[in-house]
Amino acid sequence: MGISLRREWVEPLLEAQPRLPALEVIFEQWLFASDEALGQLESLRERYSMLLHCLSMNLGSTDPLDHDYMERVRSFAERFEIHSISDHLSWRSSRGRWSLSLLPLPRTEEALGHLSNRVDEVQLFLGRSIALENVSQY
């Protein structure tokens, strides 16, 4: 097991260099990071495998996929040699209005077909498989 990396843990990890199999990097926490912070992340990458977890692919939404966002995910994954990318099985926007919550999908054949098509499109764009986690429910 690894840990989910938090920005405040970067310097302590660089100093202590504990034995960890992997770091889960939350993409949105690094999207607008400074060059210095990204340099520190590169230093961690030299020591640890990394998994990339996203929060905003918006896979279950009927809004168009955000290809600018997907390109940033792809570039980030390539820069840090990350092979595993995941996001939540949920949706976050409708008609361009965003929620701060990860919203559940209806449990229907239609929703499953829609999600399957979206996952195929994302995987083709990213050039790799993605993992889906934590089915949202309320």
pTM of the model as a whole: 0.91
Reading the block at residue 20, the tokens are: 């960890």
Mean pLDDT for the stretch of residues 54-64: 95
Q: Can you give the pLDDT at residue 136?
A: 66
Domains in the chain with CATH codes: 3-133 (3.20.20.150)
Q: Which whole-number Å values give the CA distances from 112 to 26, 70, 90, 129, 132, in the listed order?
A: 26, 21, 11, 17, 13
Q: What is the pLDDT of residues 70-122, one digit of tens each?
A: 999 999 999 999 999 999 999 998 898 999 889 999 999 999 999 999 999 99
| Contact (CB, 8 A) for 137 and 104 | yes
What single-letter amino acid sits at 14?
L
